[in-house]
Each structure stands twice: as structure tokens, then as C-alpha cells.
A and B are shown apart, each in its own frame.
Chain A
Amino acid sequence: MSSVKEVFKSSFQLLAQQTDNVIKDFLRLTKDFMDNGPNVILYNKAAEKLQIDEEKIVSIVKSICLMCVQSCKHKLTDIEIKESLTEYGFNDTKLDMIILFFENQKPHLLDILSSSAFVFPHFKELEWRFETDMGSRSLLHQTVPVVTLKLDLEKKNIFETLYLQTDPLNLVHIKDTLEAALKQNQSQWIRKIRRKLK
């Protein structure tokens, strides 16, 4: 069994030998693969038309797909992709076609990749309301200040709404803590880390 790297190499070498129109067809097949998954009928037809093994057709489609995904993962620029593809013998027109295809697919791929990574619920919105508890079953007359909070969190486009409450003292404490954390972001130490890790 040959390794992914070898399959990738032979597929791209084969692709580089095809005419512009055929490459266009392959890119269309790849788009269909990305959107709808493998489609044996389409590959059969292409194999007949080009006189290439169906297996090779599938390899080429998968290789283009892999190239796009890896380029997204490594955040490669167009120039870097071009450089890495030249070794397979593509001419400039063909490279431009592939790059254009990649650019078109990029937002979609990034979306899928980000959603496949684990994510935490993100802060989305906070609404508040100031109330006073006037009476309850256990205490008929009272004046207890309450701040009711509606906290919206978002996780993979799913919103979660939490209803919470707090008292004024705690509200000030929460505000102070988070404000201090925000200021920390500008500290020398954080700047140093940011510079070192970039």
C-alpha cells in the first residue's frame, strides 16, 4: 500500500498533465465531493471520458481536497501554495485556477474546521434589570435590592440563555474583577508573551 504522500504526489503529477478544461472538471468534482460526499456515478463517467482508472480519479479529487484542508490548517498564503505545487509541473494558468478554487472554498473550509475543533461557550450578550424584592411568603415586608441578569452564551451557533441574579455589592465586585483582568491584557508581561509566541 502506498502512503498518502505518494498517492498525493502521483495524483498531482497526473493532474498537471491534463488540459485546463479537464482540471476545471476535476475542481468541479472536488466541490461536489466537499458539498455532497463521494459520488460514484460521476467518477465512473469521468473515468470513461478521460480513459483513466476510476481509482485514480477518486485519488485526484481527494488529493485536491486534502491540499485545500492542509493549506487552511497551516494558514498558507497563495504564494506559498503556488510554490509547493510548482514541483508537480503545473503551469501558471493551471495554478491560478487551483488558487481561485481554493480561495472560493476557503471560508467554507475554515467554517467546517473551526466547528470541528472543540469550542467553549462564548459570551454574546448581557442584559440587566434592577429590582427590589418587596415581599415573599416567608417575609411579607422587605426591601431587598436585586439585579437580575440575562446572560446569552453562544456555542457553535447555538445560543444559550441563562437567567441569573445578584446583589449590588456582588455586581460591583464582578465588574471590578473583570475590568482588572481586561487591564492586565495591556501589561508588560502579557506584551512580552505575545511578542515571544508570535
Chain B
Amino acid sequence: MNISTEIELGLKRLCNPALINDQCFQMLLQKAEKILGTLLSETSEQTLNDESTINITSKQDIAKEAYASLVALFTIANRHCLDGKSLNQNLQTLVLANTDRLPEIIKTYESVRPRLTEVSKITTTSLANVVDVECRLDYCVQSSVFDDVSEFLYKVRLKTIDNGTIKYIDFVCNTQELQELVFKLKDAVRHLEKITSAS
């Protein structure tokens, strides 16, 4: 894992009690934990607006730099799938003024990691994701064109999520077409089960 000199500087400042006092350090950790731990969830916006830490220190620019470095560090570490131990080893190579703060940083990283990994997994380019299906069976009796239709129609609605927006795909099948669709799906499921049982 490589981190830029800017982030390195920010981390050094974060661990320097002369620049960031203990109270401010705790505040920054808590804020990072709150923000990263609730990424993309409904409460994340509320946490963003919660600016209570701003007035905690007179050196606001340094606090901001330190905070940004901390968040960047967590994101990069997670990107490389590092666990707390490996992150600790990586950070040992930095020359920090006060290494007492390292365990606290690692602890915070481990607490936000599950959510961070989850968000990283879905932060990717992907096709619309099918998450649910609804089905309705209609019997068409008559139409404006034909007096006597008498056919069964399955209305199928696939619920998809495409980059966070929900979209529906609607189509119809007659009995034969639905049989074909189910056959194809069964085939796919059968192959999947084969793969999972083999591994």
C-alpha cells in the first residue's frame, strides 16, 4: 500500500499532540467512524451536517487536513483489503511523533471496515441489478380488435436497481413462453448448484 506524501504529512500531524490535542484527536476519530460507518445509509446525510467538531481547536486547517488524511488512509487500506494488523505494520514505517495514537486509529479502522467493504463492493460499474420479481396471471377475454381472445397472459415485472435508482422491467409471457423462461432459469440455478457443490 502506498500513500502520498500529503496523506503522510496529515497523519503525522494527526499523531502530534502539539498540533492536535487529545480531545480533538478523539473527536476526529469519532467523526470518521460515524461518517464511514454509515456511508450510503439513510443517516449519512445527518452525520455530514453535524459540524460540532469544527470549533474544537484553534488550528482548524490542521484538524481538517488530519481528518482528510485519516479518511483517505482508511479508504486506501480498505481498497487493498488490509486488516487492522497489516495496516498497523504499514503505519509502523511512518515516523510518527506519538505512536500511542496508532492503536486507536487501528481500532476505528476495524470498526468501520465492514461497512466500507460493503460500500466498496457496490461502488463499481455494473449492469442493472435484478433484485425482485413480481408476477400476475391475467385472462384476456376480449379486446377492441378481437371479440374473442381467451388467452392467459403472465405479466412479469422485474425490479432492478441501476446505480441506486429503482427501475422496473415489464413484459408478458404466455404459458409456453413462461415455461421456456422458467426452464432457462432452472438450468442456470442447476449449474450454479453444481459449481457451489464442487468447490
Asked if A168 and B175 sit within 8 Å, CB to CB, the answer is no
Q: Which of B79, B134, B191 contacts A130 (CB 8 A)?
A: B191
Q: Which of B130, B155, B174, B195 contacts A149 (CB 8 A)?
A: B130
Main secondary structure of the interface of A (DSSP, over half): mixed
Check B18 for interface membership: any CB of A closer than 8 A.
Answer: no
B160 to A: closest C-beta gap in Å: 6
- Bound together, the chains give a CA A178 to CA B154 distance in angstroms of 10
Asked if A178 and B185 sit within 8 Å, CB to CB, the answer is yes
Which of B30-38, B59-67, B98-106, B137-145 sits within the interface?
Answer: B137-145
Which A residues between 15 and 41 are near B, CB-CB below 8 angstroms?
none
- Bound together, the chains give a CA A186 to CA B173 distance in angstroms of 16
Residues of B within 8 A of A184 (CB): 137
- Bound together, the chains give a CA A166 to CA B119 distance in angstroms of 17
- Bound together, the chains give a CA A5 to CA B188 distance in angstroms of 58
- Bound together, the chains give a CA A173 to CA B10 distance in angstroms of 48
Check B163 for interface membership: any CB of A closer than 8 A.
Answer: no
Asked if A114 and B145 sit within 8 Å, CB to CB, the answer is yes
Asked if A136 and B180 sit within 8 Å, CB to CB, the answer is no
- Interface size on A, as a range, is 35 or more
Check A55 for interface membership: any CB of B closer than 8 A.
Answer: no
- Bound together, the chains give a CA A162 to CA B129 distance in angstroms of 12
Q: Mark A142-165, 1 if CB is under 8 A from B, else 0.
A: 101011110101000000001111
The 6 closest A-B pairs by CB, nearest first: A139-B120, A117-B145, A175-B185, A166-B130, A181-B135, A138-B120
Known: A120-B172, A144-B121, A185-B152. 10 other contacts (CB 8 A): A73-B145, A74-B148, A121-B172, A122-B173, A123-B171, A123-B181, A147-B188, A147-B192, A174-B158, A174-B185
Report which B residues bind A (CB closer than 8 A): 78-81, 117, 119-121, 123-135, 137, 139, 141, 143-148, 150, 152-156, 158, 160, 169-175, 177-182, 184-186, 188-189, 191-192, 195-196
19 of the cross-chain contacts (CB-CB < 8 Å) are A74-B148, A75-B148, A114-B145, A123-B156, A123-B172, A136-B125, A139-B81, A140-B80, A141-B80, A142-B81, A147-B188, A149-B130, A164-B158, A165-B126, A166-B131, A178-B181, A179-B185, A184-B137, A193-B139
